[in-house]
């Protein structure tokens, strides 16, 4: 029992000193240009996340080879939402092939996104989407 109390006390002691309040730590930055970045809002789909995925799956068409391959995987897609709400710099982090990756880029590039807002100013932000893909011959 003493060991448990000692362990809990030790954990609580170190945990309490591990927290640093970024607004009251005067020595946090050595360069005065550095500051905390506060996103008022992150870049996101204007239609909502659920509707975005609905659009992706409605517009997605699979080749016969993709259907026969019985794919059960996720596509990781990275892109930037610019301050003018245009999408650019698409990058497939993990793809499934069969032309699916390129089709996803084409579909997502047509979906409207809101730009991120940081300190009251629209800025570019990178988004990484994970899109589950399942194919089977009876599709």
pTM for the full model?
Answer: 0.66
Each residue of 115-139: pLDDT tens digit? 988 878 888 999 999 989 888 777 6
* Res. 30: pLDDT tops 70: no
pLDDT of residue 70: 85
Domains of the chain and CATH, by start? 32-134 (3.30.2420)
| Rounded Cα–Cα distance for residues 80 and 35 (Å) | 23
Per the document, the length of the chain is 139
Tens-place pLDDT, residues 35-52: 666 667 888 888 889 999
Task: State pLDDT tens for residues 73-85.
Answer: 899 999 999 989 8
């Amino acid at each position: 029992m003493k060991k448990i109390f000692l362990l809990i006390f030790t954990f609580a002691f170190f945990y309490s000193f591990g927290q640093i309040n970024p607004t009251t730590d005067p020595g946090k930055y050595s360069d005065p240009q550095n500051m905390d970045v506060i996103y008022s809002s992150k870049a996101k789909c204007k239609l909502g996340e659920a509707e975005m995925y609905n659009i992706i799956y409605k517009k997605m068409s699979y080749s016969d080879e993709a259907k026969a391959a019985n794919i059960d995987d996720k596509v990781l897609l990275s892109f930037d939402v610019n301050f003018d709400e245009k999408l650019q710099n698409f990058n497939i982090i993990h793809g499934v092939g069969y032309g699916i990756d390129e089709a996803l880029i084409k579909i997502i590039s047509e979906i409207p996104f809101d730009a991120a807002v940081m300190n009251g100013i629209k800025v570019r932000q990178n988004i990484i989407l994970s899109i589950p893909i399942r194919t089977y011959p009876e599709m």
